[in-house]
Amino acid sequence: MPKADVGIALYVLAAFVMFIISVPAWLLDVLLALNISIAQQSLS
């Protein structure tokens, strides 16, 4: 299994866990900022 497939699977699993488990607001803010910064890096 390639590394990219494992990364995508972990990303999807983390998304499902976030739906099930209540996450504190500060952690959602940190994860959103991380997501935006990763997306910005991939565009440039």
User: What is the rounded average pLDDT of the residues 12-40?
Assistant: 90
Residue 36 pLDDT class (50, 70, 90 cuts)? very high
Arithmetic mean of pLDDT, 20-40: 91
Taking 90 as the threshold, does the pLDDT of residue 33 lie above it?
Answer: yes
15 phi and psi, to 5 degrees?
-65, -45
Query: What gap in Å lies between CA 26 and CA 42, rounded to an integer?
Result: 25
Task: In whole angstroms, give the CA distance from residue 38 to residue 23.
Answer: 21
Say what the pLDDT of residue 29 is.
Answer: 94
Question: How far is 31 from 33, CA to CA, in rounded Å?
Answer: 5
Mean pLDDT of the chain: 88
d(CA 32, CA 37): 9
pLDDT exceeds 90 at position 7: no
Question: Would you call 1 helix, strand, or coil by DSSP?
Answer: coil
